[in-house]
Chain A
Amino acid sequence: MSLSRRELLKMGLLAVCGTVIPLSALEILKPEAAASLIRPYSEHKRWAFVVDTTKCVGCGMCVKACKLENEIPFNIDVQRTWVERYVQLKNGDVLIDSPHGARNGYIKNDPQGKEINEAEVAKGIFVPKLCNQCEKPSCVQVCPVGATYKTSDGVVLVDKGWCIGCGYCINNCPYLARFFSPVTNTADKCTFCYHRITKGLNTACMDACAFGARKIGMLNDPNSEVAKIISTERVSVLKPEYGNEPQVFYIGLDAIVR
């Protein structure tokens, strides 16, 4: 077979053009994607959380309410939600602490137990943390017995009657949101107060917050405050590099926050 220079160039160009069209260019043809052009919110229910760190004063009322609501022993250092304090000093040092998960609040300027003169502080920030109820929870993937799972509405739960307490999930959470419960001897974690949100109530931590730093709502409900904030304001998530797709969105995070 003989190939003219013209034909070679033609075929070569065609081949190059063909290979550079990414498969994702054809994604729009998927029915869900096409539907989202007409209706921007999907039918799929999904709980999500917004934490406004600019409003958090570090009183720790949320931690107290969470512990009492979910029967986590108050005086033991395990908690489903906790508040971290990040203090950057003028000399550049960053001090991070969360004494007892902040269940008694922050009442003086003593990061890591050392009293610090207010004049030395460059900036500080309180960061409430809780389970991120990830879209791709790495804790669920490692459970050897199927005792932890994601519900259809996106909340990751622990089946306490089935958990064998091996602790894999606790090690596998990049957010350290899981702990070993000394009461049930199983893994335990924040459930977004599943017993409350499924009854139409707010989470205990959200109700306890007098400053409006915590909000829960349906991601796919255009009227929910959470959906409005996520779609119109500048939000970020913690540790996106792990690829867990966390569903707790933060307002006002800083580079010193981990």
Chain B
Amino acid sequence: MSHAWRPVFVVLAVVAAIVVMRVILVPSDFTAKDGDYKYQWHRLSAEQVSKDFTVKHRGRDFCGQCHPNHIEKMKDSGHQNIQCENCHVMYEPAKKSHPINLKEDFGYLLNIGIDRSRELCKRCHAELSYRPKTYTSSKGTEKFKQIDPTKHNPGIECAMCHDVHSAGFKTAAK
């Protein structure tokens, strides 16, 4: 046989090696879903991983199981659309103060605590000329009241005077 065939065998051997490696290395569930090699070429099992990620925010209904009076209080107030978790989830675990361990009993992973800082309320209520001045509630479009935090009782926590949940005022007795 002519020596000219040798490079051909080398090439064939390399191709065979690549094919074998590919079969070993590429997971068997690698597929182009819907025949779309451009955008849907992936491991099918990865989709399930994304779906199985734990849900952490459970919304009002979850808190309402044990705090029905707070739900009731907020129902018709200006704060009706705000989730409890917006104000009560602490991103620093050290600030957690919920007396019941929601993680063990309910698998609830967020840290619940109380943030009485003015910064929390200012996120929505600080007056900015370009902050929308209306909002939509169950009653339709309403005025969204904003205050100038440098003039509106500076230095005192908002929750000292305001009842946060009913978006009104604390009664004198309290």
Output the least CB separation between B112 and chain A (Å): 12
The chain B residue with its CB closest to the CB of A135 is B39
User: Is the beta-carbon distance between B43 and A162 smaller than 8 angstroms?
Assistant: yes
Q: Which of B1-9, B77-85, B97-105 binds A?
A: B77-85
User: How far, in angstroms, from A148 to B59 measured CA to CA in the complex?
Assistant: 30
Q: Which of B10-18, B64-72, B125-133, B154-162 binds A?
A: B125-133
User: How far, in angstroms, from A89 to B144 measured CA to CA in the complex?
Assistant: 24
A121's contact among B40, B124, B129, B149, by CB below 8 Å, is which?
B129
| Known interface pairs A105-B124, A211-B136; 20 further A-B residue pairs with C-beta atoms within 8 A, sorted by A's residue number | A55-B136, A57-B144, A59-B123, A64-B86, A68-B56, A68-B57, A107-B123, A107-B126, A118-B128, A121-B130, A124-B128, A124-B130, A146-B43, A149-B33, A150-B36, A159-B43, A194-B51, A208-B57, A210-B86, A211-B81
Interface centre among A87, A151, A194, A212 (most CB of B within 10 A): A151
- B residues within 8 A CB of A107? 119, 122-123, 126, 149
User: Is the beta-carbon distance between A207 and B83 smaller than 8 angstroms?
Assistant: yes
* B42 interface residue (CB < 8 Å to A): yes
Contact mask for chain A residues 40-75; partner B; CB cutoff 8 A; 1 contact, 0 none: 000000000000001111111100110111100011
Q: Would A106 and B40 be within 8 Å (CB), given that A152-B33, A191-B50, A204-B57 are in contact?
A: no
* A185 interface residue (CB < 8 Å to B): no
Interface residues of A (CB under 8 A from B): 54-61, 64-65, 67-70, 74-75, 87, 104-109, 118, 121, 123-126, 136-137, 140-141, 146-152, 157, 159-162, 191, 194-196, 198-199, 201, 204, 207-208, 210-212
- B residues within 8 A CB of A59? 123-124
25 A–B contacts from the bound complex (CB under 8 Å): A58-B123, A59-B124, A65-B89, A68-B91, A68-B110, A75-B91, A105-B122, A105-B124, A107-B122, A121-B129, A124-B129, A125-B130, A146-B42, A151-B33, A157-B46, A157-B47, A191-B50, A194-B50, A195-B53, A195-B55, A208-B85, A208-B86, A210-B83, A210-B86, A210-B124
- B residues within 8 A CB of A195? 50-55
User: How far, in angstroms, from A101 to B2 measured CA to CA in the complex?
Assistant: 69
- A residues within 8 A CB of B39? 136-137, 140-141, 149-150
Interface residues of B (CB under 8 A from A): 30, 33-34, 36, 38-43, 46-47, 49-57, 59, 79, 81-83, 85-86, 89, 91, 110, 119, 122-124, 126, 128-132, 135-136, 144, 149
User: Is the beta-carbon distance between A55 and B132 smaller than 8 angstroms?
Assistant: yes
The chain A residue with its CB closest to the CB of B144 is A57
Q: Would A146 and B41 be within 8 Å (CB), given that A57-B144, A194-B50, A201-B55 are in contact?
A: yes
User: How far, in angstroms, from A87 to B131 measured CA to CA in the complex?
Assistant: 11
User: How far, in angstroms, from A74 to B46 measured CA to CA in the complex?
Assistant: 25
Output the least CB separation between A218 and chain B (Å): 17
User: Is the beta-carbon distance between B123 and A106 smaller than 8 angstroms?
Assistant: yes
Output the least CB separation between A77 and chain B (Å): 14
User: Is the beta-carbon distance between A57 and B149 smaller than 8 angstroms?
Assistant: no
Q: Would A150 and B86 be within 8 Å (CB), given that A65-B57, A195-B53 are in contact?
A: no
- A residues within 8 A CB of B41? 146, 149
- B residues within 8 A CB of A211? 81, 132, 135-136
Interface centre among A57, A104, A106, A150 (most CB of B within 10 A): A57
User: How far, in angstroms, from A55 to B85 measured CA to CA in the complex?
Assistant: 21
User: How far, in angstroms, from A157 to B49 measured CA to CA in the complex?
Assistant: 10
- B residues within 8 A CB of A160? 46, 49
Output the least CB separation between B127 and chain A (Å): 8
Q: Would A61 and B123 be within 8 Å (CB), given that A74-B91, A146-B42 are in contact?
A: yes
- A residues within 8 A CB of B123? 58-61, 104-107
Q: Would A162 and B46 be within 8 Å (CB), given that A54-B132, A121-B130 are in contact?
A: yes
User: How far, in angstroms, from A147 to B42 measured CA to CA in the complex?
Assistant: 6
Interface centre among A54, A146, A160, A162 (most CB of B within 10 A): A146
